[in-house]
Amino acid sequence: MTPGTPVPGPDAVRDALRTHGYLADEGLATVVFLALELRRPLLLEGEAGVGKTEVAKVLSRWTGGELLRVQCYEGIDVSQAVYEWDYTRQLLHLRAAEARAAGTGGDVPAAVEDDLYSERFLVRRPLLAAIAAPAERPPPVLLIDEIDRADDEFEAFLLEVLSDYSVTVPELGTFSARVPPIVVITSNRTRDLHDALKRRCLYHWLDHPDFEREVAIVRLRAPSVGETLARQVAAAVERIRSMGLYKPPGVAETIDWAESVATLGRSALDETTVALTLGAAVKYREDADRIRDAGIGELTQEAVGRAG
Amino acid sequence: MSAPIEGAARGARGPHDEEGRTGASAPERLAVAFAFALRARGIAVAAGAPLRYAEALAAVGLEREGPVYWAGRATLLQDPDDIDGYDDVFHAFWRLGGSRVLRPFEVPRRIEVATDDGLEEDGVPAEEDSAGDARVLELRYSPTEILREKDFAECTPAELAEAQRLMSRIRLRGPRRPTRRRRPARRRGDWPDLRRTVRHALRAGGEPVRRSWLEEADRPRRIVFLCDVSGSMAPYSRALLRFVHVAVAARRSVEVFTIGTRLTRVTRALVAHDPDAALGRVAKLVPDWSGGTRLGEALREFNDLWGVRGLARGAIVVIFSDGWDRGDPAVLAREMARLSLVAHEVVWVNPLKATPGYAPLVRGMAAALPYVDQFMEGHSLASLESLAGVITGRGAPGAVADGRRGRIEVG
């Protein structure tokens, strides 16, 4: 996709995402289309492992825009998300100017200060890089990952940036985006986000894919896995997700699991294989215990039956 | 699929459309009318959201149901809990032609601006100032002394009102926990502050003479309240929720849930300065007020949906309950174990504990107790002051009061 090309509609988005390795359902395709068309940030909420982050990655592959990622964590601040000065180089530059001045017998010229706070010494972090991206390239894809982990001060700051797509560096002035970046914000919903931020964004709750879609995803992402195995693994995962685990397996785990079984040379699930490879899908001892208590034999039978 | 939507669109223009606008105005009117129907169903639709829906409808068109449905979810909803309600309203509005019944042309032009905007209200970080100095609770006259110790269950409505008024004077500040964030230090700190060092060096002609430092900062620790609102807790629920309201009003990092036969998140309802209005909103929100209890199930719901995911992580979790549980005590024990693994501290407040000769024999209470860090009573004003002391991490206060203007150190 070249910049400025209008996207015809949700169906075209779905096809394009598919071409680049992501199977979106109608809901996701529609909101992605709207995000591109209305140039609004896209807020994706959902369980860990449903493929929220992957949406930004596939958008980057599709549009050719650079992927800029802000991984949020508690205490993230401007110097990690927006910009920072390269202090070490600044100090070196100052010392060099001083040495030159000493050689000529004068003072350090006042112009050195302007020098110090020029773009030369500016370290651009992802937010600034997204705002100050060159207009002739496709707009970058700005991924703000796990916003719920950041403090609410950062959330408020982000809201400000997303309202007018500009960032001010006090020493240099204001950078404004010539083309607004494509913004994808993800949240695991460990806390509620501010209404103001939600209002700014298009909201989409991303669920685990349904059975048929998950089978298709496994087939697409793990070509070595046969249709039968993919169906059985997807059915087993669907059953496991309904067991109320501490950490239910995500799509990535389904793919891993199917690949693990295929790597062992099996083309269908049986009880022994499930017991051996369960660790690819379930990552907590308590969860594995719960599945064993419920009976791996039953789980396998059910999965094979459901897969048809 | 296209037919009902065209029907709805016709309905929206309607014979009474005196301005006679067509085309471009159709999505706009439909969007506003649909948002109106959602609000009638109790779904919080933000001001401005209908306009965005109209924009979105203009982009996806009205020809197919799918995009109309998804565009609405993306622009009008902000909470996955509302999806079921949205589906119902969508069905009634777009498929059954409810848009005609609702007569969208009579939708009021004025859109009320939502007032519960977290960002604005959080503007003043109340707990940030004057951390560390002693918190003071003022008691104005001595009858309060009697009231302080009186069991809420035995209070007259007037006494209860007075107790609740006094409760708003309890200060719930702290506890704090260290963060990764650093702040400038006045004295020599643990990390160099290069940014300020460079600034100072400029003034000194390039020589980094004065070095600046950073030190560790801290933040308030989150408090999560789980309030049992079942029938057996009825004499205490209102008073305890009032106490919780004090906590919500005083600081930002507080979350509140009610537990009965199910779990309800009421934090937002409590964010109002007027305690009576806040409690009224909670009562409306909670479907199982004074019903039965399934503590274990409700706790599991909390752990699965909120607690273990991160909300209770490192937090102080305060459970107000008498421990009556009609469910399986094994479930409660297992969920308490999960909770205690992620929480910083679990405080169980049981109003019955003050009863002489009380022993935690109720099955639920007995099952939960091994996972509780602090087991307290919460039947009176004085006991809630102690609770405030425990929550703020400064131990139980020595309750001292002298007649007319007693001062009690809380925390």
CA distance A241 to chain B (A): 12
Q: For residues A70 and B74, what is the distance between their CA atoms, to the nearest angstrom?
A: 23
B330 touches chain A (CB under 8 A): no
Q: Which residues of A touch B198 (CB under 8 A)?
A: 85, 87, 90-91, 94, 116
In this structure, is residue A110 part of a structural domain?
A: yes
Note whether A23 and A151 are same-domain residues.
Answer: yes
pTM (two decimals): 0.65
Q: Are B77 and B43 in contact (CB under 8 A)?
A: yes
Residue A298 covered by a domain: yes
**Closest in B80, B194, B304 to A87, CB measured:** B194
Q: Per the domain annotation, does A1 fall within a domain?
A: no
A55 and A191 together in one domain: yes
State whether A148 and A57 are in the same domain.
yes
Instruction: Measure CB to CB from residue A195 to each of B46, B69, B74 and give the nearest one.
Output: B46
Contact A27 B116 (CB under 8 A): no
Question: Does residue A39 sit within a domain?
Answer: yes
How many domains does one find in chain A? 3
Strands A67-71 and A141-145: parallel
A60 within domain boundaries = yes
Domain with A58 in it: what CATH number? 3.40.50.300
Same domain, A108 and A130: no
- Render the burial of B344-367: b for 16+ CB within 10 Å, e for the rest: bbbbbbbbbbbeeeeebebbbbeb
Domain containing residue A14: 10-82+125-206
Q: Does A5 fall in a domain?
A: no
- DSSP code at position B23: T
Tell me, rounded to whole angstroms, the distance of Cα A46 from its chain centroid.
12
Q: Are residues A172 and A54 in the same domain?
A: yes
Same structural domain for residues A157 and A103?
A: no
What value does the mean pLDDT of chain A take? 89
> What is the rounded average pLDDT for all residues in chain B?
72
* DSSP β-bridge partners for residue B192: B213
Q: What's the helix, strand, coil split of chain A in %, to 5?
A: 55, 15, 35
Residues of A in contact with B55 (CB under 8 A): 38
Q: Which residue has the tokens 């006090």?
A: A170
pLDDT in tens, A221-246: 999 999 999 999 999 999 999 988 87
- Distance (Å) from the alpha carbon of B257 to chain A's nearest alpha carbon: 13
A93 & A58 share domain = no
Minimal Cα–Cα distance from B13 to chain A, Å?
Answer: 25
The verdict on B116 touching A (C-beta cutoff 8 Å) is yes
- pLDDT (0 to 100) of residue A75: 79
Closest CB to A152: pick one of B195, B201, B252: B252
Report, in this order, helix, strand and coil percent for chain B, each rounded to 5: 50, 15, 35
The answer on A166 and A78 residing in a single domain is yes
Q: Is residue A4 part of a domain?
A: no
For residue A241, the chain B residue with the least C-alpha distance is: B304
To the nearest whole Å, the CA of B304 is away from the closest chain A CA by 7
Looking at residue B137, its pLDDT comes to 30
Last residue of a domain, one of A173, A206, A239: A206
- β-pair partners for A252: none
pLDDT grade for B397, boundaries at 50, 70 and 90:
very low
Is B206 or B347 the better-scoring residue by pLDDT? Answer: B347
pLDDT level of residue A47 (50, 70, 90 thresholds): confident
What 3-state class would DSSP assign to B195? Answer: helix
pLDDT one-digit tens code per residue, A147-198: 988 887 888 889 888 888 998 888 888 999 888 899 999 998 877 788 888 8
Chain A touched by B114 (CB under 8 Å): yes
Does one domain contain both A133 and A236?
Answer: no
pLDDT value at A255 more than 80 = yes
- The domains found in chain B, sorted by start residue, are 2-106 (no CATH), 128-174+221-409 (3.40.50.410), 178-219 (no CATH)
B70 min Cα distance to partner chain A (Å): 5
Residues A235 and A161 in one domain: no
Which pLDDT value is given to residue B407? Answer: 33
Residue at a domain's end among A206, A240, A273: A206
**pLDDT of res. A196:** 85
* CA–CA distance, A263 with A249 (Å, rounded to integer): 19
Residues A201 and A59 in one domain: yes
Rg from Cα positions in chain A: 25
- Within B168-319, residue ranges assigned H as helices are 194-203, 234-250, 267-270, 275-285, 295-302
- Mark whether A93 and A74 lie in a shared domain: no
Q: Is A2 among the domain residues? A: no
pLDDT at B107 over 80: no
Q: How many CB pairs under 8 A join A and B?
A: 137
- The region that residue A165 occupies, defined by phi over 0 for left and psi between -120 and 50 for alpha, beta otherwise, is left
Rounded Cα distance, A249 and A256, in Å: 10
Contact call for residues B132 and B99 (beta carbons, < 8 A): no
DSSP state, B113? Answer: P
**Tally of CB atoms within 10 A around B269:** 23
The domain boundary residue, chosen from A141, A172, A206: A206
Whole-complex ipTM: 0.77
Q: What is the per-residue pLDDT for A143?
A: 96
Is the bond preceding residue B178 a cis peptide, omega within 30 degrees? no
